[in-house]
Amino acid sequence: MTITPTDTRLRRYEDIRDLMAGPAEPTPLVRLRHLPDPDASLYLKLEWMSPFGSIKDRTARYLLDGLEAAGLLDGKDIVEPTSGNTGIALAALAALRGIRLIATVPSGVPDEKKVLMRMLGAEVWETPDDLCPVDSPKDGAIALARAIAASDPRFVMPNQYANGDNVRAHYETTGPEIWTQTDGEVAVFVAGLGTGGTLTGVGRYLKERNPEVRIVAVEPQPGHRLPGLKSLREAKTPEILDWSVIDEVVEVGDDDAYARTKELYRREALMVGPSTGAIVHAALQLDPAAGLVVGVSPDSGFKYTSYFADILGDEGLPTP
């Protein structure tokens, strides 16, 4: 047998990056069989079936490729504000390129994520959101990353909140994948409000193909414990977020999000992270006759076991 380079049919790869999703190798789209109304058609796009474990694999690749194409990466290291998933993907890709990453993360990011970034060789700078006590938008991690990049010329900040390559990642990959996987039948797309990259990129692509597609944004409540999502009542609106593609915003509380997450484990055997619970909770409030609904499952639950332990309490433990 002749060994050929990367052969996706045999799932044999010459480079871990060949496993990253794109229209030729989409992440899976899986129907929820038990939670929704039997007449409803709700699918989840499992973004955690990607080598670095989340939807941010796409973003990180586009951010770095974009910097490189613009000649901004030559000899530079990276600093980026992240709630963890972008940091993990950037740390992995930076490790492969032999460059250094400082990830500034808001307090409350699960230890699992911080440890994984450090395992990949990144430096993790944790900061409270109100780091600047006087001038206090609730984005301390963003302010800190900006200050590092502005103070030290060795660093460049991709800035997923303002970089159009974040949108392009989803316009060129996630959106076309969903369109192809649903044979153009997608009627509603539901995703979390974070950087705005997924909603804007996928929303733009799907609406260009079919202006009738509805785009639903899921927003957490202020003071939430749903990493990756942002409440725009307490954080600045990301620069790349294009409100014109969003038809509806659904606010979901932590209790509902975690209850749905638990249901997804126990009734659908889907081992997802808590933001997926929030997205599914919003999707289940849609009219069952809405047509084919696609929700994003940004990451799996493996990085949130400490959070889950909190919500479980003694549940699942033997009693004397």
Which residues contact other proteins (rule: CB under 8 A)? 125, 127, 131-135, 140, 143-144, 146-148, 150-151
C-alpha pair distances (Å), 149 with each of 78, 91, 157, 205, 319: 8, 17, 6, 32, 53
Cα 317 to chain center, whole Å? 32
Instruction: Name which of 137 and 184 has its Cβ closer to other proteins.
Output: 137
Residue 227 CB coordination number (10 Å): 25
| 231 included as an active-site residue | no
Instruction: Name which of 140 and 203 has its Cβ closer to other proteins.
Output: 140
Nearest-approach distance from CB 115 to other proteins, in angstroms: 19
Instruction: Name which of 40 and 142 has its Cβ closer to other proteins.
Output: 142
Instruction: Name which of 70 and 150 has its Cβ closer to other proteins.
Output: 150
Query: Which two tokens mark 147?
Result: 């200050």
Q: Dihedral of the CA atoms 304, 192, 186, 188 (nearest 10)?
A: 130
Nearest-approach distance from CB 35 to other proteins, in angstroms: 43
Residue found by looking up tokens 């369109």 in the block? 179
Residue found by looking up tokens 């440890």 in the block? 115
C-alpha pair distances (Å), 211 with each of 214, 246, 260, 311: 8, 12, 30, 41
Nearest-approach distance from CB 144 to other proteins, in angstroms: 6
Nearest-approach distance from CB 74 to other proteins, in angstroms: 23
| 56 included as an active-site residue | yes
Distance (Å, rounded) from C-alpha 302 to C-alpha 230? 21
Q: 275, 297, 300, 303: which is the annotated catalytic residue?
A: 275
Nearest-approach distance from CB 114 to other proteins, in angstroms: 15
Measure CA of the first residue to CA of the last residue in the chain; give whole Å.
60
Q: 41, 45, 50, 56: which is the annotated catalytic residue?
A: 56
Point out the residues that are catalytic.
Answer: 56, 275
